[in-house]
């Protein structure tokens, strides 16, 4: 069983963040380790507050894990502050020097769906300048793609140009997977190194159980890459995993509830 690492925020309602990522890894048969960047206060009704973890604690946790449990892949989610972005960038530079082929997926979490800022403005700048060049994949949604590139991303036809601009910020080896869940036809756009484009067909699923879909998708993508899938196959499998997790979720809470992260491992209702 391979070891993977998530660096992300803590959502006590288990819809998004670290605890959700660990369930996604388990669902893929991987052993998940984690480093918390920020403690959020939230439920299915939205994010109420967020408290960043001290940069020294972040640095020590990453160093301690890397020395003993070097990961076969890394997923990065909510970072919260510019200080955390710099610590994670320093860590990735160290990982890259020791194991250049370890896949790294960055979910550029900027805002919660309830509208709360999850990365400060200096952090957004640091993410562009320092993190994008160090990761293999970035998985923005439409709002994140617009904010990171400064380009309009409203309709399907906007995606190729904006994805190209984001790829150039990281370098031509960066794969961009722009998730189109809020488009009228919810397809994702994959831009591979070398400029090859592919649209991944999505389906509209009427559900309130969508809290943390981006976290689940990016963790599933990292899982599939670690399991040896080729880029397009990994992206398609991750999209199918997330869709099924939404489709089979049991409603929980009064707001946007969690996905059924463990669906591939679910037991029959009678527990047999």
Residues within the interface to ligand PXL (CB under 6 A): 8-9, 11, 16-17, 40, 42, 47, 77-78, 109, 112, 118, 212, 214-215
In the bound state with ligand PXL, the residue whose beta carbon lies nearer, of 39 and 192, is: 39
In the bound state with ligand PXL, the residue whose beta carbon lies nearer, of 37 and 149, is: 37
In the bound state with ligand PXL, the residue whose beta carbon lies nearer, of 103 and 212, is: 212
In the bound state with ligand PXL, the residue whose beta carbon lies nearer, of 32 and 231, is: 32
Q: Whole-angstrom Cα distance, residue 227 to residue 222? A: 9
CB of 6 to ligand PXL, least distance (A): 10
CB of 272 to ligand PXL, least distance (A): 35
In the bound state with ligand PXL, the residue whose beta carbon lies nearer, of 16 and 72, is: 16
In the bound state with ligand PXL, the residue whose beta carbon lies nearer, of 102 and 112, is: 112
CB of 147 to ligand PXL, least distance (A): 14
Residue in 16, 33, 86 with CA at minimum distance from that of residue 256: 16
CB of 158 to ligand PXL, least distance (A): 22
CB of 229 to ligand PXL, least distance (A): 24
CB of 181 to ligand PXL, least distance (A): 12
Q: Edge-to-edge, what's the strand order for the sheet holding 188-191? A: 46-52, 31-43, 3-10, 74-76, 104-106, 137-138, 175-178, 188-191, 197-200
Neighbours of 56 (CB within 10 A): 10
Q: Whole-angstrom Cα distance, residue 123 to residue 128? A: 9
CB of 82 to ligand PXL, least distance (A): 17
In the bound state with ligand PXL, the residue whose beta carbon lies nearer, of 214 and 231, is: 214
């Amino acid at each position: 069983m391979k070891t993977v690492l998530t660096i992300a925020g803590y959502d006590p309602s288990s819809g998004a963040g670290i605890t959700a990522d660990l369930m996604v890894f388990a669902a893929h048969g991987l052993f998940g380790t984690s480093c918390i960047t920020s403690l959020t206060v939230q439920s299915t009704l939205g994010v109420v507050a967020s408290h960043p973890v001290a940069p020294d604690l972040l640095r020590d946790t990453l160093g301690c894990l890397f020395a003993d449990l070097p990961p076969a892949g890394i997923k990065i989610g909510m970072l919260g502050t510019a200080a955390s972005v710099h610590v994670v960038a320093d860590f990735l530079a160290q990982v890259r020097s020791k194991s250049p082929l370890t896949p790294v997926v960055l979910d550029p979490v900027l805002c919660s769906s309830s509208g709360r800022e999850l990365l400060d403005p200096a952090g957004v700048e640091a993410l562009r300048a320092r993190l994008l060049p160090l990761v293999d994949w970035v998985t923005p949604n439409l709002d994140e793609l617009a904010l990171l590139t400064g380009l309009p991303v409203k309709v399907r036809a906007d995606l190729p140009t904006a994805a190209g601009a984001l790829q150039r910020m990281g370098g031509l080896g960066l794969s961009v997977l722009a998730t189109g869940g809020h488009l009228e036809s919810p397809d994702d756009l994959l831009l591979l190194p070398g400029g090859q484009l592919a649209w991944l067909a999505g389906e509209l699923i009427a559900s309130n159980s969508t809290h943390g879909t981006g976290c689940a998708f990016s963790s599933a993508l990292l899982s599939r890459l670690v399991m040896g899938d080729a880029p397009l196959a990994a992206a398609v499998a991750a999209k199918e995993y997330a869709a099924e997790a939404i489709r089979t979720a049991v409603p929980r809470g009064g707001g946007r509830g969690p996905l059924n992260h463990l669906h591939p491992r679910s037991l029959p209702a009678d527990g047999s």
